């Protein structure tokens, strides 16, 4: 009910704002101006695809979980931004940084990136009479994989512009709030990575947040009446490669659900996790070792996790479910395999805010090496603004251009995150229960 009310309030606000502003005035500069203004896992997955499925073709679909009614003509604004994307090419500075920090990517891959151009013909945008937005991306997997972050970022920033959120933005106040958040994070022992590209308020706000996180962390602690208190937390990096380069941080990210979704159509729901782990470890030879395990729920994954695969990966990412329950399942499985859980990392990334991250950290209590990827709460938690609830997910695939198309689905531990063909979702759920 709260989501419905939230969505309605957004829609009303947009309509009111659009009466006051013509689209002509709101024609924006190019939103995506840097090739690496994208998440690190995009490049990790792209290289994986080139290695394992170079002929694969896919379709991605845009989902707005709030069912937002966008103002008339919004699709045209998005299309204008998409049409500008071929101008966004990788620079030698970006290549040099990635070669240094993302050392697991070979030199030939950067030759490929030098020649890569965004292809607007891969993107189809429509808006129905009610104002709902439909976006799909179809083409070669290694090419279309680059569109997820730009599309989400474009939609989010355009919408916040139309709503007047950026016009009302109080830069001084938001920097103060970002600093307060950073102090809370580092004083409570959280090991943090920024993961806020996809639903950020704006490029400028995201830039400020990353800068402040680094500045506060470099202060090494805080001083009060009782003296100096050193940080117990740590800033690991950011998922955004461009901001990692700009602020000299580590780009963070390994994989997304899409490679497991795809693999389900190759090797079936019971074997897909094992085969992705095997193939991913073959491609990266032990690097990039955080596995995202919840694509088809946790039961399928834990039933098929072997000791060899568990040893090959540094740890796991928890992106759905009740975190405390997942912690116990992970620890239990590692112990069952004869592995000390304290030697393994667990990354929590399920729509976290700072309060919730602290709760989880206290619960883990040193039993594993816990860290936290916080996104929207850092990059779109702005006064007098509401964040969007949008994603782009893989919905169809075929292993080569000569094969038939198959539906791709995601069965999350959280029902609200389950996406894809309802009939296939129901069929797979029946199989794995």
Closest CA to 272 of 160, 406, 148: 406
Does residue 315 form part of some domain?
yes
Does residue 1 form part of some domain?
no
Does residue 30 form part of some domain?
yes
Alpha-carbon distance 273 to 404, whole Å?
22
Task: Using alpha carbons, list the distances in angstroms from residue 84 to 30, 32, 134, 135, 162.
Answer: 7, 9, 19, 17, 20
Does residue 67 form part of some domain?
no
Q: Are 37 and 197 in contact (CB under 8 A)?
A: yes
* 234-238 vs 123-127, strand pairing mode: unpaired
Token pair belonging to 12: 């009303």
CATH of residue 380's domain is 3.20.140.10
pLDDT for position 28 = 62
Q: Are 318 and 294 in contact (CB under 8 A)?
A: yes
Closest CA to 299 of 268, 319, 329, 278: 329
The gap from C-alpha 95 to its chain's centroid, in whole angstroms, comes to 22
Q: Are 98 and 423 in contact (CB under 8 A)?
A: no
Alpha-carbon dihedral sign for residues 312, 108, 52, 147: positive
Residue range(s) defining the domain that contains residue 45:
25-53+91-111+168-433
The residues, ordered by sequence, that sit 6+ positions from 199 with a Cβ below 8 Å of its Cβ are: 152, 156, 375, 376, 379, 380, 387, 388, 389, 390
Token pair belonging to 424: 């296939």
> Structurally, how many domains does the chain consist of?
1
Alpha-carbon distance 329 to 333, whole Å?
6
Tokens 């502003």 identify what position?
21
Closest CA to 209 of 100, 89, 354: 354
Does residue 376 form part of some domain?
yes
Token pair belonging to 137: 């991306």
Alpha-carbon distance 193 to 371, whole Å?
8
Residue 41, judged by CB atoms within 10 A of its CB (0-12, 13-18, 19+), counts as buried
Does residue 116 form part of some domain?
no
Alpha-carbon distance 76 to 127, whole Å?
9
Does residue 19 form part of some domain?
no
Each of the 433 residues of the chain gets a pLDDT tens digit; together they read 444 445 545 554 454 444 434 454 555 689 999 999 999 999 999 999 999 999 999 999 999 999 999 999 999 999 999 999 999 999 999 999 999 999 999 999 999 999 999 999 999 999 999 999 999 999 999 999 999 999 999 999 999 999 999 999 999 999 999 999 999 999 999 999 999 999 999 999 999 999 999 999 999 999 989 999 999 999 999 999 999 999 999 999 989 999 999 999 999 999 999 999 999 999 999 899 999 999 999 999 999 899 999 999 999 999 999 999 999 999 999 999 999 999 999 999 999 999 999 999 999 999 999 999 999 999 999 999 999 999 999 999 999 999 999 999 999 887 777 889 999 999 999 998 8
Does residue 211 form part of some domain?
yes
Q: How many CA atoms lie within 13 A of 322 on its CB side?
A: 5
Residue 399, judged by CB atoms within 10 A of its CB (0-12, 13-18, 19+), counts as middle
């Amino acid at each position: 009910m709260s989501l419905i009310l939230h969505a309605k309030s957004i829609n009303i606000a947009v309509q009111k704002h659009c009466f006051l502003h013509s689209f002509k005035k709101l024609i924006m500069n190019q939103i995506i101006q840097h090739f690496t203004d994208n998440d690190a896992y995009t490049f990790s997955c792209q290289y994986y695809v080139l290695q394992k499925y170079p002929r694969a073709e896919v379709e991605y679909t845009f989902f707005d979980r709030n069912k937002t009614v966008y103002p008339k003509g919004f699709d045209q604004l998005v299309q204008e931004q998409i049409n500008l994307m071929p101008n966004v090419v990788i620079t030698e500075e970006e290549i040099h940084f990635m070669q240094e920090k993302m050392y697991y990517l070979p030199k030939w891959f950067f030759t490929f990136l030098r020649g890569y151009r965004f292809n607007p013909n891969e993107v189809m945008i429509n808006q129905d009479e009610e104002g709902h937005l439909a976006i799909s991306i179809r083409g070669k997997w290694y090419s279309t994989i680059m569109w997820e972050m730009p599309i989400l970022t474009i939609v989010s920033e355009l919408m916040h512009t139309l709503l007047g959120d950026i016009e009302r933005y109080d830069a001084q106040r938001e920097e103060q709030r970002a600093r307060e958040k950073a102090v809370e994070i580092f004083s409570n022992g959280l090991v943090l990575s920024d993961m806020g590209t996809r639903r950020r308020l704006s490029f400028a706000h995201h830039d400020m947040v990353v800068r402040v996180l680094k500045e506060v962390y470099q202060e090494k602690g805080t001083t009060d009446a009782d003296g100096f208190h050193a940080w117990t937390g740590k800033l690991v990096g950011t998922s955004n490669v461009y901001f990692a380069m700009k602020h000299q941080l580590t780009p963070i990210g390994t994989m997304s659900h899409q490679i497991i979704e795809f693999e389900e159509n190759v090797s079936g729901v019971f074997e897909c996790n094992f085969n992705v782990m095997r193939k991913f470890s073959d491609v990266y030879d032990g690097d990039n070792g955080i596995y995202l395990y919840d694509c088809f729920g946790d039961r399928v994954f834990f039933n098929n996790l072997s000791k060899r695969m568990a040893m090959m990966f540094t740890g796991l990412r928890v992106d759905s479910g009740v975190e405390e329950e997942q912690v116990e399942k992970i620890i239990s499985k590692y112990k069952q395999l004869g592995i000390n859980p304290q030697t393994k990392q667990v990354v929590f990334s399920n729509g976290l805010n700072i309060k919730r991250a602290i709760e989880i950290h206290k619960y883990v209590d040193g039993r594993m090496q816990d860290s936290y990827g916080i996104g929207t709460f850092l990059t779109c938690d702005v006064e007098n603004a509401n964040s969007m609830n949008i994603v782009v997910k893989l919905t169809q695939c075929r292993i080569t251009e000569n094969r038939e198309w198959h539906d791709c689905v995601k069965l999350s531990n959280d029902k609200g995150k389950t996406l894809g063909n309802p009939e296939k979702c129901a069929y797979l759920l029946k199989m794995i229960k």
